[in-house]
Amino acid sequence: MNRQVFITGATSGFGKAIAYKFAAQKDHLILCGRRNDRLLAIKEDIESTFGVAALLFNFDIQDKNQIDEALNTWMATKPTIDILVNNAGLAAGLSSVEEGSLDDWERMIDTNLKGLLYISRKILPILKGQRQGHVFNISSTAGKIVYKNGNVYCATKHAVDALSQAMRIDLLPYGIKVTCISPGMAETEFSLVRFDGDEEKAKQVYKDTAPLQANDIADAIAYCANLPKHVCINDLTITCLNQANGIYVQKNADKL
């Protein structure tokens, strides 16, 4: 469709699936992440498979100076951006407030909350100037209800929900759509990151369920992005059939 789609966290999981989904629709991509080898491999594959352009930006979203360094020269060329997907994020650890790791808390707050704000502050003026655009913020079922030991991760995702409401109000005069997507458990690298590379622990999260896959979220985002100009889906909570919300998961549902 020839739109310009800016995606944070495009090196794996949802972000990568969203990139492929838009590329398959002939949209052009601006892809961000820290793992440059992955970005380069995705660019090569997408450009040769779909014949669209993929521009890469390599930065740690926690660091506003790195963001400036990576984006400022390109921003000066006055690019257009039709869709911004604020997706980069993580959970680090799972423990009570009185025992939590300050480092984990800072990583989550700096990535999921401050990183999203840094990118939005940079990109939203472009959408505003165009008087059109669509922002997708990736929250979570963890942004709807708090679960045991999820404290700070849940707080950052509640904040993404609040910021989505705020953006919808602030951008209302400019014809910009804001959609907050709140997925439940999905099998990406998310749990591997949360449990610091412990594959066994990560696998247990999804064991005996049929979790969401990254493509399911990409499909939903493409659906929202392709609606008529006057229609905006504000919020979507999406879980697999084995999950009612951030707390209730039914294992072995097929054996009941």
Catalytic center residues: 153
In degrees and rounded to multiples of 5, residue 86 shows phi and psi of -85, 90
Query: Which listed residue (4, 5, 6, 9) binds ligand NDP by CB under 6 A?
Result: 9
- In sequence order, what are the beta bridge partners of 85? 7, 136
* CA distances (Å), origin 145, targets 86, 104, 168, 244, 245: 21, 20, 21, 11, 8
CA 250 to chain centre: 25
Partner from ligand 8X3, ligand NDP, none binding residue 93, C-beta < 5-8 Å depending on class: none
Q: What tokens were used for 118?
A: 């840094």
Query: Of 56-75, which residues contact ligand NDP (CB under 6 A)?
Result: 60-62
- Shortest distance (Å) from residue 21 CB to ligand NDP: 13
Query: Of 118-177, which residues contact ligand NDP (CB under 6 A)?
Result: 138, 140
Q: What tokens were used for 81?
A: 């951006």
Query: Which listed residue (62, 120, 137, 141) binds ligand 8X3 by CB under 6 A?
Result: 141
Q: What tokens were used for 205?
A: 């999260």
Partner from ligand 8X3, ligand NDP, none binding residue 12, C-beta < 5-8 Å depending on class: ligand NDP
Query: Which listed residue (119, 127, 185, 202) binds ligand 8X3 by CB under 6 A?
Result: 185
The stretch among 55-63, 69-77, 137-145, 211-219 that binds ligand 8X3 (CB under 6 A) is: 137-145
- Any contact of residue 239 with ligand 8X3 (CB under 6 A)? no
DSSP 212: B
- Any contact of residue 111 with ligand NDP (CB under 6 A)? yes
- In sequence order, what are the beta bridge partners of 32? 57
Collect all residues with Cβ–Cβ distance below 8 Å to 63 and sequence separation of at least 6: none
**Which helix (H) or strand (E) element contains residue 27?**
none
The count of other CB atoms within 10 Å of the CB of residue 96 is 9
Partner from ligand 8X3, ligand NDP, none binding residue 133, C-beta < 5-8 Å depending on class: none
- Any contact of residue 93 with ligand NDP (CB under 6 A)? no
- Shortest distance (Å) from residue 192 CB to ligand NDP: 7
- Any contact of residue 142 with ligand 8X3 (CB under 6 A)? yes
- Shortest distance (Å) from residue 97 CB to ligand 8X3: 16
Edge to edge, what strands does the sheet with 83-86 contain?
54-58, 28-33, 4-7, 83-86, 133-138, 176-183, 235-238
Strand 28-33 and strand 83-86: pairing?
unpaired
Binding site for ligand NDP (CB under 6 A): 9-15, 33-35, 60-62, 87-90, 111-112, 138, 140, 183, 185-186, 188-190, 193
Binding site for ligand 8X3 (CB under 6 A): 140-142, 150, 185, 190, 246
